[in-house]
Amino acid sequence: MPRTIYNTATTLDGFLADDSDSLDWLFVVPQGHDGFPAFLDTIGAIVQGSTTYEWVVRHEDLIAHPEKWPAFYGARANWVFTTRDLPAIPGADLRFVSGAVAEHWSDIAESAGDRDVWIVGGGDLAGQFADAGLLDEVRVSVAPVTLGSGRPLLPRRLESDRLTLESVTQNGQFAELAFSVRSPDAA
């Protein structure tokens, strides 16, 4: 069974995106080593919410330039949780679904094969996985930026009986934190 990893960046005050759902704040922060390609090699399927998907499509103009898609996610199965009709990127393995994450988990896990599942965002979707006992790890890169408001990192109450700090590293101006997550039943 694959592990489910919520790997994201956040501001110092705990926001993923600003009030306009923009991630522009993220791309001006200097990074050190780039461990992302090694992380992506461990991923068999990607899960994201509709707001995250729409931002990437808009920001990278992927409807007009679908050839850019592989640079982001490769040929992996990409599960987009949405309640709306969204544009598909030609050539991308997109699977638009709605409903509870547990309803789709067996198909998501199967599409990951012997690799892990990456929850790209947003925070509420990662929270739904945590609520269902399907979130194994949270990896957060904390940037030296504050927004004051925006989309929260994880709009759920998860206490220390469910989260265990596994590692802390520095990557340029980012502090990278990794937490294992216990199921609500095991807490």
Are 15 and 155 in contact by the 8 Å Cβ rule? The answer is no
Say whether the peptide bond before residue 150 is cis (omega within 30 degrees of 0).
Answer: no
- Indicate if the pLDDT at residue 187 is higher than 70: no
Class of 4-181 per CATH? alpha beta
Q: What is the pLDDT of residues 55-101, one digit of tens each?
A: 999 999 999 999 998 887 888 999 999 999 999 999 999 999 999 99
Q: Angle CA(165)–CA(73)–CA(5) in degrees, nearest 5?
A: 20
Cβ-based neighbour number of residue 179 at 10 Å: 19
What tokens were used for 123?
A: 């925070």
DSSP state of 37: H
Angle at 136 between CA 7 and CA 171, to 5 degrees: 30
Whether this prediction's pTM lies above 0.85 is answered by yes
- Tell which wins on pLDDT, 31 or 112: 112
3-state helix, strand, coil in the chain (%, to 5): 25, 30, 40
Q: What are the tokens at 167?
A: 């590692």
HSE-CB at 187 with a 13 A cutoff on CA atoms is 16
Split at pLDDT 50, 70, 90, the class of 27 is confident
Residue 166 has pLDDT above 70, yes or no: yes
Per-domain residue ranges for the chain? Answer: 4-181
Environment class of residue 152 by beta-carbon count within 10 Å: exposed (0-12), middle (13-18) or buried (19+)? middle
Res 72: pLDDT: 79
Task: Collect all residues with Cβ–Cβ distance below 8 Å to 163 and sequence separation of at least 6.
Answer: 138, 179, 180, 181, 182
pLDDT for the residue numbered 175: 94
